[in-house]
Structure 1
Protein backbone atom coordinates (compact mmCIF):
# COMPACT_ATOMS: atom_id res chain seq x y z
CA UNK A 1 0.00 0.00 0.00
CA UNK A 2 1.29 3.47 -0.85
CA UNK A 3 2.42 5.38 2.23
CA UNK A 4 2.57 8.99 1.02
CA UNK A 5 0.36 9.10 -2.06
CA UNK A 6 -2.23 11.23 -0.29
CA UNK A 7 0.28 13.75 1.09
CA UNK A 8 3.76 13.93 -0.44
CA UNK A 9 6.16 15.00 2.37
CA UNK A 10 8.54 16.79 -0.04
CA UNK A 11 5.82 19.38 -0.58
CA UNK A 12 6.38 20.57 2.99
CA UNK A 13 9.64 22.17 1.89
CA UNK A 14 12.40 20.29 3.71
CA UNK A 15 15.42 18.81 1.93
CA UNK A 16 14.83 15.61 -0.01
CA UNK A 17 17.63 13.84 -1.84
CA UNK A 18 17.30 11.51 -4.79
CA UNK A 19 19.89 9.29 -6.45
CA UNK A 20 22.37 10.19 -9.17
CA UNK A 21 22.78 8.88 -12.70
CA UNK A 22 21.86 5.24 -12.28
CA UNK A 23 22.69 4.15 -15.82
CA UNK A 24 26.05 5.91 -16.05
CA UNK A 25 27.00 4.62 -12.58
CA UNK A 26 26.15 1.02 -13.41
CA UNK A 27 27.83 1.11 -16.82
CA UNK A 28 30.99 3.11 -16.09
CA UNK A 29 31.63 2.44 -12.39
CA UNK A 30 30.23 -1.06 -11.99
CA UNK A 31 31.04 -2.38 -15.48
CA UNK A 32 27.49 -3.66 -16.03
CA UNK A 33 26.22 -3.78 -19.60
CA UNK A 34 22.80 -2.14 -19.99
CA UNK A 35 21.23 -2.78 -23.40
CA UNK A 36 19.51 0.40 -24.60
CA UNK A 37 20.56 2.01 -21.30
CA UNK A 38 17.79 0.00 -19.62
CA UNK A 39 18.49 -0.61 -15.93
CA UNK A 40 15.21 -2.46 -15.42
CA UNK A 41 16.57 -5.53 -17.21
CA UNK A 42 18.68 -6.21 -14.10
CA UNK A 43 15.51 -7.13 -12.23
CA UNK A 44 15.49 -10.41 -14.18
CA UNK A 45 18.61 -11.70 -12.41
CA UNK A 46 19.54 -12.16 -8.74
CA UNK A 47 22.95 -10.55 -9.33
CA UNK A 48 21.26 -7.67 -11.11
CA UNK A 49 18.84 -7.15 -8.26
CA UNK A 50 21.73 -7.08 -5.80
CA UNK A 51 23.54 -4.52 -7.96
CA UNK A 52 20.46 -2.30 -7.78
CA UNK A 53 20.20 -2.71 -4.01
CA UNK A 54 23.87 -1.79 -3.62
CA UNK A 55 23.35 1.27 -5.80
CA UNK A 56 20.33 2.58 -3.87
CA UNK A 57 21.75 1.78 -0.42
CA UNK A 58 24.54 4.32 -1.01
CA UNK A 59 21.90 7.06 -1.24
CA UNK A 60 19.96 5.69 1.72
CA UNK A 61 23.14 6.01 3.78
CA UNK A 62 23.67 9.63 2.71
CA UNK A 63 20.09 10.61 3.56
CA UNK A 64 20.35 8.89 6.94
CA UNK A 65 23.69 10.55 7.71
CA UNK A 66 22.48 14.07 6.89
CA UNK A 67 18.97 13.63 8.27
CA UNK A 68 17.18 14.41 5.01
CA UNK A 69 14.22 12.94 3.26
CA UNK A 70 14.81 10.58 0.34
CA UNK A 71 12.99 9.90 -2.92
CA UNK A 72 13.78 6.47 -4.34
CA UNK A 73 13.26 6.56 -8.11
CA UNK A 74 12.52 3.18 -9.68
CA UNK A 75 14.99 1.94 -12.35
CA UNK A 76 12.22 1.94 -14.98
CA UNK A 77 13.14 4.87 -17.22
CA UNK A 78 13.18 2.50 -20.21
CA UNK A 79 10.34 0.25 -19.01
CA UNK A 80 7.72 1.35 -21.53
CA UNK A 81 6.23 -0.74 -24.35
CA UNK A 82 8.44 0.31 -27.29
CA UNK A 83 11.76 -0.10 -25.50
CA UNK A 84 10.63 -3.27 -23.75
CA UNK A 85 9.52 -4.83 -27.02
CA UNK A 86 12.93 -4.04 -28.52
CA UNK A 87 14.53 -5.77 -25.52
CA UNK A 88 12.36 -8.88 -25.92
CA UNK A 89 9.91 -8.32 -23.06
CA UNK A 90 6.30 -9.44 -23.38
CA UNK A 91 3.58 -7.08 -22.09
CA UNK A 92 3.16 -9.35 -19.08
CA UNK A 93 6.90 -9.43 -18.47
CA UNK A 94 7.08 -5.65 -18.70
CA UNK A 95 4.28 -5.18 -16.18
CA UNK A 96 6.00 -7.59 -13.81
CA UNK A 97 9.31 -5.71 -14.16
CA UNK A 98 7.61 -2.44 -13.21
CA UNK A 99 6.03 -4.11 -10.19
CA UNK A 100 9.33 -5.71 -9.17
CA UNK A 101 11.07 -2.36 -9.34
CA UNK A 102 8.66 -0.85 -6.81
CA UNK A 103 8.85 -3.94 -4.58
CA UNK A 104 12.65 -3.63 -4.48
CA UNK A 105 12.39 -0.01 -3.33
CA UNK A 106 9.68 -0.88 -0.83
CA UNK A 107 12.01 -3.40 0.81
CA UNK A 108 14.77 -0.78 0.98
CA UNK A 109 12.38 1.70 2.57
CA UNK A 110 11.61 -0.86 5.22
CA UNK A 111 15.32 -1.11 6.01
CA UNK A 112 16.13 2.59 6.31
CA UNK A 113 13.07 4.71 6.98
CA UNK A 114 12.96 6.43 10.34
CA UNK A 115 11.56 9.67 11.76
CA UNK A 116 14.17 12.01 10.26
CA UNK A 117 14.39 10.08 6.98
CA UNK A 118 11.01 9.73 5.25
CA UNK A 119 11.44 7.65 2.10
CA UNK A 120 9.13 8.36 -0.83
CA UNK A 121 8.85 5.80 -3.65
CA UNK A 122 8.52 7.13 -7.19
CA UNK A 123 7.67 5.17 -10.31
CA UNK A 124 9.97 6.50 -13.02
CA UNK A 125 8.56 7.07 -16.50
CA UNK A 126 10.90 7.84 -19.38
CA UNK A 127 10.25 9.18 -22.86
CA UNK A 128 8.85 6.90 -25.52
CA UNK A 129 11.72 7.80 -27.81
CA UNK A 130 15.23 9.15 -27.39
CA UNK A 131 15.86 11.15 -24.23
CA UNK A 132 17.78 13.85 -26.09
CA UNK A 133 15.87 14.12 -29.37
CA UNK A 134 12.17 14.87 -29.76
CA UNK A 135 11.69 12.40 -32.61
CA UNK A 136 8.41 10.74 -33.62
CA UNK A 137 6.50 13.13 -31.39
CA UNK A 138 3.00 12.25 -30.18
CA UNK A 139 0.20 14.63 -29.42
CA UNK A 140 -0.97 14.77 -25.81
CA UNK A 141 -3.81 12.29 -26.35
CA UNK A 142 -1.54 9.70 -27.98
CA UNK A 143 0.96 10.20 -25.15
CA UNK A 144 -1.78 9.78 -22.56
CA UNK A 145 -2.83 6.49 -24.10
CA UNK A 146 0.74 5.25 -24.54
CA UNK A 147 1.91 5.93 -20.97
CA UNK A 148 -1.31 5.01 -19.19
CA UNK A 149 -0.34 1.33 -19.10
CA UNK A 150 2.84 1.89 -17.09
CA UNK A 151 1.13 4.42 -14.84
CA UNK A 152 -1.67 1.93 -14.26
CA UNK A 153 0.81 -0.69 -13.10
CA UNK A 154 2.42 1.77 -10.70
CA UNK A 155 -0.99 2.77 -9.35
CA UNK A 156 -1.53 -0.81 -8.19
CA UNK A 157 1.77 -0.89 -6.29
CA UNK A 158 3.20 0.92 -3.26
CA UNK A 159 4.48 3.80 -5.42
CA UNK A 160 3.66 7.16 -3.89
CA UNK A 161 3.88 9.06 -7.17
CA UNK A 162 5.12 8.82 -10.73
CA UNK A 163 7.89 10.98 -12.16
CA UNK A 164 8.27 11.68 -15.87
CA UNK A 165 12.02 12.09 -16.34
CA UNK A 166 13.83 13.69 -19.31
CA UNK A 167 10.78 15.05 -21.06
CA UNK A 168 12.01 16.78 -24.22
CA UNK A 169 8.76 18.00 -25.75
CA UNK A 170 5.66 19.34 -24.12
CA UNK A 171 2.97 17.10 -25.63
CA UNK A 172 4.45 13.96 -24.08
CA UNK A 173 4.64 15.68 -20.71
CA UNK A 174 1.01 16.77 -21.01
CA UNK A 175 -0.08 13.24 -21.92
CA UNK A 176 1.66 11.73 -18.93
CA UNK A 177 0.12 14.31 -16.61
CA UNK A 178 -3.32 13.61 -18.04
CA UNK A 179 -2.85 9.84 -17.65
CA UNK A 180 -1.71 10.30 -14.05
CA UNK A 181 -4.71 12.52 -13.30
CA UNK A 182 -7.05 9.90 -14.73
CA UNK A 183 -5.40 7.29 -12.49
CA UNK A 184 -5.55 9.60 -9.43
CA UNK A 185 -1.78 9.31 -9.13
CA UNK A 186 0.46 12.24 -8.11
CA UNK A 187 2.89 13.15 -10.88
CA UNK A 188 6.09 15.13 -11.26
CA UNK A 189 7.22 16.38 -14.67
CA UNK A 190 10.95 16.82 -15.27
CA UNK A 191 12.03 18.58 -18.45
CA UNK A 192 15.48 18.42 -19.99
CA UNK A 193 17.00 21.45 -21.69
CA UNK A 194 19.84 22.22 -24.06
CA UNK A 195 22.78 24.50 -23.28
CA UNK A 196 20.57 27.54 -23.98
CA UNK A 197 18.03 26.58 -21.31
CA UNK A 198 15.40 25.64 -23.88
CA UNK A 199 13.81 22.26 -24.62
CA UNK A 200 15.29 20.30 -27.54
CA UNK A 201 12.30 21.47 -29.59
CA UNK A 202 13.39 25.08 -29.02
CA UNK A 203 10.45 25.82 -26.74
CA UNK A 204 11.20 27.83 -23.62
CA UNK A 205 10.92 26.18 -20.23
CA UNK A 206 8.45 28.85 -19.14
CA UNK A 207 6.12 28.13 -22.05
CA UNK A 208 6.36 24.36 -21.55
CA UNK A 209 5.46 24.51 -17.85
CA UNK A 210 2.66 26.96 -18.42
CA UNK A 211 1.27 24.83 -21.26
CA UNK A 212 1.22 21.65 -19.17
CA UNK A 213 -0.44 23.49 -16.29
CA UNK A 214 -3.03 25.03 -18.62
CA UNK A 215 -4.01 21.70 -20.20
CA UNK A 216 -4.07 19.75 -16.92
CA UNK A 217 -5.48 22.44 -14.61
CA UNK A 218 -2.16 22.51 -12.78
CA UNK A 219 -2.25 18.80 -11.95
CA UNK A 220 1.52 18.08 -11.59
CA UNK A 221 2.64 18.25 -7.96
CA UNK A 222 5.72 20.14 -9.15
CA UNK A 223 8.27 20.30 -11.93
CA UNK A 224 11.93 19.41 -12.15
CA UNK A 225 14.87 19.92 -14.52
CA UNK A 226 17.15 17.01 -15.31
CA UNK A 227 19.92 15.90 -17.67
CA UNK A 228 21.46 19.37 -18.03
CA UNK A 229 24.20 21.20 -16.14
CA UNK A 230 23.19 24.17 -13.94
CA UNK A 231 25.20 26.43 -16.25
CA UNK A 232 22.67 25.58 -18.96
CA UNK A 233 19.54 26.72 -17.14
CA UNK A 234 20.19 28.84 -14.06
CA UNK A 235 20.12 32.10 -16.03
CA UNK A 236 16.52 31.47 -17.16
CA UNK A 237 15.23 30.77 -13.63
CA UNK A 238 14.23 34.25 -12.53
CA UNK A 239 13.22 34.54 -8.86
CA UNK A 240 9.64 35.63 -8.34
CA UNK A 241 8.30 34.27 -11.63
CA UNK A 242 5.18 32.21 -11.08
CA UNK A 243 6.30 29.45 -13.43
CA UNK A 244 9.69 29.23 -11.70
CA UNK A 245 7.89 28.71 -8.37
CA UNK A 246 6.51 25.49 -9.84
CA UNK A 247 10.04 24.05 -10.13
CA UNK A 248 10.90 22.21 -6.93
CA UNK A 249 13.56 19.73 -8.02
CA UNK A 250 16.89 19.45 -9.84
CA UNK A 251 18.68 16.41 -11.23
CA UNK A 252 21.61 17.96 -13.05
CA UNK A 253 24.33 16.37 -15.14
CA UNK A 254 27.87 16.34 -13.82
CA UNK A 255 29.17 17.50 -17.20
CA UNK A 256 28.82 20.83 -18.93
CA UNK A 257 28.76 19.08 -22.31
CA UNK A 258 25.77 19.37 -24.60
CA UNK A 259 23.51 16.42 -25.27
CA UNK A 260 25.14 15.96 -28.68
CA UNK A 261 28.61 15.94 -27.11
CA UNK A 262 27.51 13.47 -24.44
CA UNK A 263 26.14 11.16 -27.12
CA UNK A 264 29.55 11.10 -28.82
CA UNK A 265 31.60 10.76 -25.62
CA UNK A 266 33.46 7.50 -25.06
CA UNK A 267 34.49 8.27 -21.47
CA UNK A 268 32.45 9.41 -18.50
CA UNK A 269 32.69 13.08 -17.54
CA UNK A 270 32.08 13.16 -13.78
CA UNK A 271 32.75 16.88 -13.43
CA UNK A 272 33.56 18.23 -9.97
CA UNK A 273 31.22 16.95 -7.20
CA UNK A 274 32.13 19.73 -4.77
CA UNK A 275 31.57 22.43 -7.39
CA UNK A 276 28.20 20.94 -8.33
CA UNK A 277 27.14 20.87 -4.69
CA UNK A 278 28.08 24.54 -4.38
CA UNK A 279 26.04 25.39 -7.48
CA UNK A 280 23.01 23.67 -5.98
CA UNK A 281 23.44 25.71 -2.80
CA UNK A 282 23.64 28.91 -4.83
CA UNK A 283 20.44 27.99 -6.67
CA UNK A 284 18.70 27.13 -3.40
CA UNK A 285 19.58 30.56 -2.00
CA UNK A 286 18.09 32.26 -5.07
CA UNK A 287 15.12 29.91 -5.35
CA UNK A 288 14.14 28.71 -1.86
CA UNK A 289 11.30 26.53 -3.16
CA UNK A 290 13.87 24.08 -4.57
CA UNK A 291 14.17 21.24 -2.07
CA UNK A 292 14.41 18.02 -4.14
CA UNK A 293 18.03 17.46 -5.14
CA UNK A 294 19.70 14.68 -7.06
CA UNK A 295 21.70 14.01 -10.18
CA UNK A 296 21.59 12.66 -13.69
CA UNK A 297 24.28 11.58 -16.19
CA UNK A 298 27.76 11.32 -14.72
CA UNK A 299 26.70 11.89 -11.11
CA UNK A 300 26.98 9.32 -8.35
CA UNK A 301 26.90 9.16 -4.55
CA UNK A 302 29.83 11.59 -4.30
CA UNK A 303 27.87 14.35 -6.02
CA UNK A 304 24.75 13.75 -3.94
CA UNK A 305 26.77 13.84 -0.72
CA UNK A 306 28.25 17.19 -1.72
CA UNK A 307 24.73 18.50 -2.43
CA UNK A 308 23.61 17.36 1.02
CA UNK A 309 26.69 18.86 2.67
CA UNK A 310 26.30 22.22 0.92
CA UNK A 311 22.52 22.51 1.10
CA UNK A 312 21.47 20.96 4.41
CA UNK A 313 22.55 24.08 6.38
CA UNK A 314 20.13 26.12 4.24
CA UNK A 315 17.19 24.18 5.69
CA UNK A 316 16.47 25.18 9.27
CA UNK A 317 13.47 23.19 10.42
CA UNK A 318 13.94 19.57 11.45
CA UNK A 319 12.09 16.91 9.53
Structure 2
Protein backbone atom coordinates (compact mmCIF):
# COMPACT_ATOMS: atom_id res chain seq x y z
CA UNK A 1 0.00 0.00 0.00
CA UNK A 2 1.33 3.41 -0.96
CA UNK A 3 -0.27 6.85 -1.12
CA UNK A 4 1.50 9.94 -2.48
CA UNK A 5 -1.48 12.28 -2.19
CA UNK A 6 -2.59 11.87 -5.80
CA UNK A 7 -1.97 8.20 -6.61
CA UNK A 8 -2.96 5.33 -4.32
CA UNK A 9 -1.38 1.93 -4.92
CA UNK A 10 -2.80 -1.50 -4.09
CA UNK A 11 -0.44 -4.45 -4.36
CA UNK A 12 -0.23 -8.19 -3.78
CA UNK A 13 2.04 -10.95 -5.05
CA UNK A 14 0.32 -10.93 -8.46
CA UNK A 15 -0.60 -7.37 -9.35
CA UNK A 16 0.19 -3.74 -8.70
CA UNK A 17 -2.81 -1.44 -9.14
CA UNK A 18 -2.73 2.37 -9.07
CA UNK A 19 -5.77 4.63 -8.66
CA UNK A 20 -5.64 8.35 -9.37
CA UNK A 21 -7.53 10.79 -7.14
CA UNK A 22 -8.23 12.80 -10.29
CA UNK A 23 -11.36 11.19 -11.69
CA UNK A 24 -11.01 8.23 -9.26
CA UNK A 25 -9.52 6.55 -12.31
CA UNK A 26 -7.59 3.30 -12.51
CA UNK A 27 -4.18 4.48 -13.72
CA UNK A 28 -2.18 1.27 -13.80
CA UNK A 29 -2.53 -2.52 -13.69
CA UNK A 30 0.88 -4.17 -13.67
CA UNK A 31 1.15 -7.96 -13.87
CA UNK A 32 4.17 -8.70 -11.68
CA UNK A 33 4.45 -12.34 -12.74
CA UNK A 34 4.27 -11.65 -16.48
CA UNK A 35 6.24 -8.40 -16.19
CA UNK A 36 3.83 -6.34 -18.30
CA UNK A 37 1.47 -3.38 -18.09
CA UNK A 38 -2.19 -4.07 -18.85
CA UNK A 39 -3.75 -0.59 -18.94
CA UNK A 40 -3.19 1.93 -21.70
CA UNK A 41 -0.58 4.54 -20.72
CA UNK A 42 -2.77 7.59 -21.53
CA UNK A 43 -0.43 8.84 -24.27
CA UNK A 44 -1.97 12.26 -25.09
CA UNK A 45 -0.97 11.91 -28.73
CA UNK A 46 -3.38 8.96 -29.02
CA UNK A 47 -5.90 9.01 -26.12
CA UNK A 48 -5.11 10.72 -22.83
CA UNK A 49 -6.98 8.42 -20.43
CA UNK A 50 -6.58 5.01 -18.80
CA UNK A 51 -9.98 3.91 -17.48
CA UNK A 52 -12.23 6.90 -16.83
CA UNK A 53 -15.54 6.66 -15.02
CA UNK A 54 -18.44 8.02 -17.05
CA UNK A 55 -20.85 10.05 -14.91
CA UNK A 56 -23.48 11.47 -14.93
CA UNK A 57 -23.72 10.70 -18.66
CA UNK A 58 -22.56 7.93 -20.95
CA UNK A 59 -21.69 9.12 -24.44
CA UNK A 60 -22.67 12.38 -26.05
CA UNK A 61 -25.80 14.50 -25.72
CA UNK A 62 -27.26 15.55 -29.05
CA UNK A 63 -26.13 19.06 -30.00
CA UNK A 64 -24.06 19.18 -26.78
CA UNK A 65 -27.06 19.66 -24.49
CA UNK A 66 -29.89 17.83 -22.77
CA UNK A 67 -33.37 18.85 -21.61
CA UNK A 68 -34.61 18.56 -18.03
CA UNK A 69 -37.98 19.97 -16.93
CA UNK A 70 -38.23 21.97 -20.16
CA UNK A 71 -34.85 23.65 -19.73
CA UNK A 72 -31.69 22.95 -21.75
CA UNK A 73 -28.33 22.35 -20.07
CA UNK A 74 -24.89 22.00 -21.70
CA UNK A 75 -23.06 18.71 -21.25
CA UNK A 76 -19.88 17.29 -22.76
CA UNK A 77 -19.29 13.68 -23.70
CA UNK A 78 -19.34 11.21 -20.81
CA UNK A 79 -20.21 13.84 -18.20
CA UNK A 80 -17.79 15.61 -15.87
CA UNK A 81 -16.70 13.22 -13.10
CA UNK A 82 -13.67 11.97 -15.03
CA UNK A 83 -12.21 15.51 -14.97
CA UNK A 84 -12.74 16.31 -11.28
CA UNK A 85 -10.80 15.80 -8.07
CA UNK A 86 -12.30 13.21 -5.73
CA UNK A 87 -12.03 13.19 -1.93
CA UNK A 88 -10.28 10.15 -0.36
CA UNK A 89 -12.62 8.18 1.89
CA UNK A 90 -10.84 4.90 2.65
CA UNK A 91 -7.39 3.69 1.71
CA UNK A 92 -6.17 0.46 3.30
CA UNK A 93 -4.13 -2.57 2.28
CA UNK A 94 -6.40 -3.94 -0.43
CA UNK A 95 -9.16 -1.40 -1.01
CA UNK A 96 -9.61 2.32 -1.63
CA UNK A 97 -12.62 4.61 -1.99
CA UNK A 98 -13.01 8.14 -3.31
CA UNK A 99 -16.03 10.48 -3.24
CA UNK A 100 -17.30 13.30 -5.43
CA UNK A 101 -20.09 15.64 -4.28
CA UNK A 102 -22.06 18.14 -6.30
CA UNK A 103 -20.79 21.72 -6.29
CA UNK A 104 -22.29 25.04 -7.42
CA UNK A 105 -20.39 24.55 -10.68
CA UNK A 106 -21.82 21.08 -11.33
CA UNK A 107 -25.30 22.19 -10.24
CA UNK A 108 -25.33 24.94 -12.87
CA UNK A 109 -25.08 22.33 -15.66
CA UNK A 110 -26.50 19.29 -13.84
CA UNK A 111 -29.25 20.42 -11.43
CA UNK A 112 -29.12 17.48 -9.03
CA UNK A 113 -27.62 16.90 -5.59
CA UNK A 114 -25.53 13.73 -5.42
CA UNK A 115 -22.59 11.87 -3.99
CA UNK A 116 -20.61 9.54 -6.24
CA UNK A 117 -18.38 7.05 -4.43
CA UNK A 118 -15.92 4.95 -6.42
CA UNK A 119 -14.09 1.99 -4.90
CA UNK A 120 -11.37 -0.41 -6.06
CA UNK A 121 -10.57 -3.70 -4.33
CA UNK A 122 -7.70 -6.03 -5.19
CA UNK A 123 -8.41 -9.75 -4.76
CA UNK A 124 -5.75 -12.05 -6.20
CA UNK A 125 -5.68 -11.37 -9.94
CA UNK A 126 -9.02 -9.54 -9.91
CA UNK A 127 -9.82 -5.85 -9.43
CA UNK A 128 -13.34 -5.05 -8.29
CA UNK A 129 -14.56 -1.65 -9.48
CA UNK A 130 -17.43 -0.46 -7.28
CA UNK A 131 -19.84 2.46 -7.63
CA UNK A 132 -22.21 3.93 -5.09
CA UNK A 133 -24.47 6.83 -6.05
CA UNK A 134 -26.30 8.61 -3.23
CA UNK A 135 -29.21 10.90 -3.97
CA UNK A 136 -28.75 13.72 -1.45
CA UNK A 137 -31.60 15.80 -2.85
CA UNK A 138 -35.36 15.84 -2.40
CA UNK A 139 -36.20 14.97 -6.02
CA UNK A 140 -35.42 12.01 -8.29
CA UNK A 141 -31.79 11.83 -9.40
CA UNK A 142 -31.39 11.07 -13.11
CA UNK A 143 -28.00 9.75 -14.16
CA UNK A 144 -25.94 7.24 -16.10
CA UNK A 145 -22.69 5.55 -15.13
CA UNK A 146 -20.10 3.62 -17.08
CA UNK A 147 -16.64 2.10 -17.04
CA UNK A 148 -14.10 2.74 -19.81
CA UNK A 149 -10.94 0.65 -19.15
CA UNK A 150 -8.49 0.52 -22.06
CA UNK A 151 -6.30 -2.60 -22.28
CA UNK A 152 -3.10 -2.13 -24.20
CA UNK A 153 -1.77 -4.54 -26.78
CA UNK A 154 1.21 -6.52 -25.39
CA UNK A 155 4.64 -5.68 -26.72
CA UNK A 156 5.37 -7.49 -29.96
CA UNK A 157 1.69 -8.13 -30.65
CA UNK A 158 -1.08 -6.34 -32.54
CA UNK A 159 -4.77 -5.95 -31.94
CA UNK A 160 -5.33 -8.69 -34.52
CA UNK A 161 -3.81 -11.29 -32.21
CA UNK A 162 -6.91 -11.03 -30.01
CA UNK A 163 -10.07 -13.11 -30.04
CA UNK A 164 -13.20 -11.97 -28.21
CA UNK A 165 -15.10 -14.42 -26.05
CA UNK A 166 -18.56 -13.35 -24.89
CA UNK A 167 -20.45 -15.03 -22.08
CA UNK A 168 -24.09 -14.54 -21.15
CA UNK A 169 -25.34 -12.86 -18.00
CA UNK A 170 -25.28 -15.27 -15.07
CA UNK A 171 -22.34 -17.30 -13.83
CA UNK A 172 -23.69 -20.56 -15.28
CA UNK A 173 -25.29 -19.24 -18.44
CA UNK A 174 -22.44 -20.28 -20.76
CA UNK A 175 -21.27 -18.53 -23.90
CA UNK A 176 -23.27 -16.35 -26.24
CA UNK A 177 -23.39 -19.00 -28.93
CA UNK A 178 -24.26 -17.70 -32.39
CA UNK A 179 -24.50 -13.94 -32.31
CA UNK A 180 -25.02 -10.73 -30.36
CA UNK A 181 -27.24 -7.79 -31.24
CA UNK A 182 -25.47 -4.44 -31.13
CA UNK A 183 -26.23 -0.76 -31.61
CA UNK A 184 -23.67 1.62 -33.09
CA UNK A 185 -23.00 5.36 -33.18
CA UNK A 186 -22.43 7.32 -36.34
CA UNK A 187 -19.29 9.35 -37.05
CA UNK A 188 -20.61 12.15 -34.82
CA UNK A 189 -21.07 9.81 -31.84
CA UNK A 190 -24.87 9.46 -31.93
CA UNK A 191 -26.65 6.18 -32.33
CA UNK A 192 -28.46 5.38 -35.56
CA UNK A 193 -30.78 2.39 -35.70
CA UNK A 194 -29.69 1.46 -39.22
CA UNK A 195 -26.05 1.17 -38.12
CA UNK A 196 -26.76 -1.67 -35.71
CA UNK A 197 -26.70 -5.34 -36.50
CA UNK A 198 -25.72 -8.77 -35.24
CA UNK A 199 -22.13 -9.81 -34.55
CA UNK A 200 -21.73 -13.42 -35.66
CA UNK A 201 -20.06 -15.71 -33.12
CA UNK A 202 -18.84 -19.27 -33.10
CA UNK A 203 -19.21 -20.83 -29.66
CA UNK A 204 -19.24 -17.31 -28.24
CA UNK A 205 -16.01 -16.26 -29.99
CA UNK A 206 -15.01 -13.97 -32.82
CA UNK A 207 -11.45 -13.10 -33.90
CA UNK A 208 -10.51 -9.44 -34.01
CA UNK A 209 -9.64 -9.28 -37.70
CA UNK A 210 -8.78 -6.29 -39.87
CA UNK A 211 -11.91 -4.32 -40.62
CA UNK A 212 -13.63 -5.31 -37.37
CA UNK A 213 -14.04 -1.68 -36.30
CA UNK A 214 -15.03 -0.60 -39.81
CA UNK A 215 -18.45 -2.18 -39.29
CA UNK A 216 -19.00 -0.18 -36.11
CA UNK A 217 -16.87 2.59 -34.59
CA UNK A 218 -18.15 1.34 -31.23
CA UNK A 219 -20.09 -1.85 -30.63
CA UNK A 220 -22.80 -1.31 -28.02
CA UNK A 221 -24.17 -4.67 -26.99
CA UNK A 222 -27.58 -4.17 -25.43
CA UNK A 223 -30.42 -6.15 -23.84
CA UNK A 224 -28.20 -7.07 -20.85
CA UNK A 225 -26.98 -9.96 -23.00
CA UNK A 226 -23.31 -10.00 -22.00
CA UNK A 227 -22.27 -11.18 -18.53
CA UNK A 228 -18.53 -11.14 -19.28
CA UNK A 229 -16.16 -10.54 -22.15
CA UNK A 230 -12.59 -11.78 -22.50
CA UNK A 231 -9.74 -10.81 -24.76
CA UNK A 232 -8.08 -14.11 -25.62
CA UNK A 233 -4.44 -14.27 -26.58
CA UNK A 234 -3.17 -17.58 -27.96
CA UNK A 235 -6.46 -19.10 -26.90
CA UNK A 236 -6.13 -18.07 -23.24
CA UNK A 237 -7.77 -15.16 -21.38
CA UNK A 238 -5.51 -12.12 -21.39
CA UNK A 239 -8.07 -10.01 -19.55
CA UNK A 240 -11.73 -10.59 -18.61
CA UNK A 241 -14.31 -7.98 -17.68
CA UNK A 242 -17.32 -9.38 -15.79
CA UNK A 243 -20.41 -7.18 -15.79
CA UNK A 244 -23.41 -9.36 -14.94
CA UNK A 245 -26.75 -7.59 -15.37
CA UNK A 246 -25.29 -4.41 -16.89
CA UNK A 247 -27.71 -3.37 -19.65
CA UNK A 248 -24.96 -2.32 -22.06
CA UNK A 249 -21.38 -3.23 -22.93
CA UNK A 250 -19.30 -1.02 -25.23
CA UNK A 251 -16.28 -2.23 -27.22
CA UNK A 252 -14.09 0.47 -28.78
CA UNK A 253 -10.60 1.14 -30.09
CA UNK A 254 -8.84 4.16 -31.56
CA UNK A 255 -9.09 4.22 -35.34
CA UNK A 256 -6.10 3.35 -37.53
CA UNK A 257 -3.47 2.61 -34.85
CA UNK A 258 -5.57 0.41 -32.52
CA UNK A 259 -3.03 0.33 -29.65
CA UNK A 260 -5.65 -0.83 -27.13
CA UNK A 261 -9.15 -2.25 -26.80
CA UNK A 262 -11.73 -0.77 -24.40
CA UNK A 263 -14.22 -3.09 -22.71
CA UNK A 264 -16.87 -0.80 -21.22
CA UNK A 265 -19.73 -1.85 -18.89
CA UNK A 266 -22.46 0.78 -18.98
CA UNK A 267 -25.64 1.83 -17.25
CA UNK A 268 -26.68 4.23 -20.01
CA UNK A 269 -25.72 4.91 -23.61
CA UNK A 270 -25.04 7.73 -26.04
CA UNK A 271 -27.88 9.83 -27.34
CA UNK A 272 -29.79 8.82 -30.44
CA UNK A 273 -29.29 10.99 -33.52
CA UNK A 274 -31.68 13.95 -33.30
CA UNK A 275 -32.98 13.27 -29.78
CA UNK A 276 -34.29 16.44 -28.13
CA UNK A 277 -36.68 14.97 -25.56
CA UNK A 278 -36.54 15.09 -21.78
CA UNK A 279 -33.65 13.45 -19.94
CA UNK A 280 -36.04 11.19 -18.03
CA UNK A 281 -37.16 9.67 -21.34
CA UNK A 282 -33.67 9.06 -22.74
CA UNK A 283 -32.84 5.38 -23.13
CA UNK A 284 -30.69 3.96 -20.35
CA UNK A 285 -31.20 6.68 -17.73
CA UNK A 286 -31.28 5.49 -14.10
CA UNK A 287 -33.92 7.09 -11.87
CA UNK A 288 -32.92 7.15 -8.19
CA UNK A 289 -35.55 8.39 -5.69
CA UNK A 290 -34.76 11.05 -3.09
CA UNK A 291 -32.36 10.03 -0.31
CA UNK A 292 -31.80 6.55 -1.74
CA UNK A 293 -28.58 4.85 -2.90
CA UNK A 294 -27.64 2.80 -5.97
CA UNK A 295 -24.74 0.33 -6.00
CA UNK A 296 -23.18 -1.59 -8.89
CA UNK A 297 -19.82 -3.16 -9.61
CA UNK A 298 -17.85 -4.88 -12.32
CA UNK A 299 -14.56 -6.75 -12.21
CA UNK A 300 -11.34 -7.00 -14.20
CA UNK A 301 -9.46 -10.30 -14.04
CA UNK A 302 -5.95 -10.62 -15.45
CA UNK A 303 -5.15 -13.97 -17.02
CA UNK A 304 -2.04 -15.94 -16.10
Q: Comparing both structures, which one devotes a greater share of its residues to helix? A: 1
TM over 0.5: no
In our comparison, the structure showing a higher alpha carbon Rg is 2
Higher share in strand? 2
TM-score normalised per structure 2: 0.27
